[in-house]
Amino acid sequence: MKSIDQKNSQIQHLEEEKAVLKASAAAKAPTGRVPVQFNPNQAFPEIEQIITARDQAEKNVLRQVEENRRKPRRKKPPKTPTVETGARHLLGFVLQQHEARTPGDAAYAPSLEQSVQKAWKASFWNFVCFDYVISYAGRSKPSIGFPDARLWHQSGLSLTEVDGQFVPASLVGDIHSSSPKMTETIACRTLLWIILRILDCVVSDGQVSEGQQANDRVHQRCRTTCHQGMGTAPWEQVDEYLRNWYMALPDTFEPCLRAPQPFPALASSSIRAPLQGFFIANPMGATALPLYHFSRILFLLHSHVTDETFNAATGSRRIKIYRQFSRQINHHAVEICSAAAGQPPPAAQMHLIQPLHLAGLCLDSQEQRSIIKGSLVDLQRQTGFPTERVLKQLEEDWDEDYD
């Protein structure tokens, strides 16, 4: 009896709990309205656009990175400083040392300052030599600027202003004065300045010729721009520079000896006399004279291109000009060969490579070309300066003449 009452009590308790659960479920049941859920993308549609664009950009970047990874890497060529950059860097160092000098400071004794100045000048003129070699070989404008009078003055070549342009003072002196001769050092430095000026005119005239094919008016404007600071007749000025330089040469630059060289092929020719090699005892003179003839050939080859008198000449007059022109070029080319045959010292031989190359382009006989080739081979054997590239270029040009 007691056990039955306990079971009934448990059942009643379970039914009460069940009823409570039903009532709770009924209270939480939906009443027919769906609760509104907040969607930030619907409230701010621009957010979704930004996210989409960002994802697309990330994909593009990843794809580009993957493509670059698969491509072979190319090393960027190192930036090579120009000749003018190196010269200006050295000039800045010299001026800085000079300005930092204080009176009575033992660290800046006169001997030390003179050593710095000598080092600067030697380095600068090495830069000038590199500049004319690079400009001639690459048919490009020289890097060292002409209007910078301070740069040239600090290097030991004083410039003076004449008709709005800076010219070496050694070229504007009175040649009829009591002492018109230049010193050996000034003569060499002035000639290098003239060579750079000639190469600058050569490149400028090349740019003018290209412009002339397009438009004559553009040609005139380009001519004015290219020869800015050179006046209306740059080649006439170059001719005057070369004449003044040659008339003011020091006596030590004169050849000491001229002797015929044993070249049977030339000696047996009824047209050409045997080559006479000349010897100059002064190394600076042995360097300067071939470069002078080199400059003269460049002047003759390029000045007639823009010579209005030559262009307006008649047929017979042109023939005479051609003959005179050919004789002058042949004379200067033979003088270069004679300088090489004179066996100058190694310090002068290194400056014969470009003159011999130009002379080889001008001389047309097989005998003369053999002399040029032999001189370049001997130059490399005696000094160690490479001449294979110059020989290869000459042989290619000579082969074209025979085609």
- If we measure between CA atoms, which residue out of 137, 234, 244, 272 comes closest to residue 180? 244
Find tokens 């993308």 and name the residue. 41
* Of 190, 171, 305, the residue nearest 237 (C-alpha): 171
Which pLDDT tens digit goes with each residue over 117-138? 777 788 888 888 888 998 898 8
Q: What is the structure's pLDDT at 97?
A: 53
The per-residue b/e assignment along 150-175, b for 16 or more CB within 10 angstroms, e otherwise, is: ebbebbbbebeeeeeebbbebbebee
What is the 3 state secondary structure string of 315-350?
A: HHHHHHHHHHHHHHHHHHHHHHHHHHHCCCCHHHHH
Is residue 344 packed enough to be buried (19+ CB in 10 Å), middle (13-18) or exposed (0-12)? buried
Tens of pLDDT, residue by residue over 12-45, are 665 666 666 566 655 555 555 545 454 544 544 5
Average pLDDT over the chain reads 72
pLDDT per residue as tens digits for the range 254-288: 887 776 654 444 433 434 445 677 888 889 999 99
Please state the pTM of the whole predicted model. Answer: 0.67
Q: Which residues contact 390 (CB under 8 A, 6 or more apart)?
A: 353, 356, 357, 376
Total number of residues shown for the chain: 403
Q: What is the pLDDT of residue 244?
A: 93
What does residue 250 show for φ and ψ, rounded to 5 degrees? -70, 155
How far is Cα 377 from Cα 25, in angstroms, rounded to an integer?
112
Which tens digit of pLDDT belongs to each residue from 208-240? 544 444 444 334 433 433 444 444 468 888 999
3-state secondary structure of 97: helix
Domain spans of the chain, in order of start = 110-230, 250-403
Q: What is the mean pLDDT of residues 53-66?
A: 62
Tell me the three state secondary structure of residue 47: helix
Q: What is the DSSP letter of 1?
A: -
Q: What is the pLDDT of residues 155-179, one digit of tens each?
A: 889 888 888 888 899 998 654 555 5
- Identify the CA nearest to 253 among candidates 203, 287, 216, 222: 287
Q: Return the higher-pLDDT residue of 333 and 146.
A: 333
Q: Report the C-alpha gap between 212 and 223 in whole angstroms.
A: 10
Query: End-to-end distance of the chain based on CA atoms, in angstroms?
Result: 140
C-alpha span between 179 and 251 (Å, rounded): 12
Buried b (16+ CB within 10 A) or exposed e, 188-209: bbbbbbbbbbbbbbbbbbeebe
